[in-house]
Amino acid sequence: MQEYPHHYKVQALSALEGEVRLESKNLTSLRTAPPEEFGGPGDLWSPETLFVGAVADCFILSFRAIARASKLPWASISCEAEGILDKVDKVAQFTNISVHAHLVIPSDVDKEKAERILQKAEKSCLITNSLKAPTHLDTKIEVGA
């Protein structure tokens, strides 16, 4: 890992109407548009869905790193994040983020250890640590075959 601070640069490009294209060095471009709630087409990523997606993605990447360091065997993980956008003092902002994680572990793995690592992943996620909105984690741990 590189030393801090890290720098991330994204360029947004747009014409008068239509989609916005996001570009960053060495990455595939992303096409975005406003969500349906703001009159957009609803068929492209929007700033709102990218924001909530970043929470889910960061949670999984944090979990993977912590599980690896903790030598926790696991089979699969899925994460669904839901953000609530509301008006606070006449300003639109995310007021709550719910993270629902579903972890599948082998039968010989301690469920309490797995739960501790899920909780640690939530606390160490740099995206949620950067938010004003509170986040809540719900977990489901399933023992696989």
Going from N- to C-terminal start, the domains of the chain cover: 47-143
| Predicted pLDDT of residue 145 | 59
What is the per-residue pLDDT across 12-61, written as a single tens digit (0 to 9) for each?
999 998 999 999 999 999 999 999 999 999 999 999 999 999 999 999 99
User: At what angle are helices 111-124 and 47-69 packed, to 10 degrees?
Assistant: 130
Say whether pTM exceeds 0.85.
yes
First and final C-alpha spacing in the chain: 35
What is the per-residue pLDDT across 67-82, written as a single tens digit (0 to 9) for each?
999 999 999 999 999 9
Residue type, 4: Y
Q: Are 74 and 104 contacting, i.e. CB atoms less than 8 angstroms apart?
A: yes
What is the per-residue pLDDT across 104-144, written as a single tens digit (0 to 9) for each?
999 999 999 999 999 999 999 999 999 999 999 999 999 98
CATH number belonging to the domain at 47-143, selected among 3.30.300.20, 1.10.287.3510, 3.20.20.210, 3.30.110.40 = 3.30.300.20
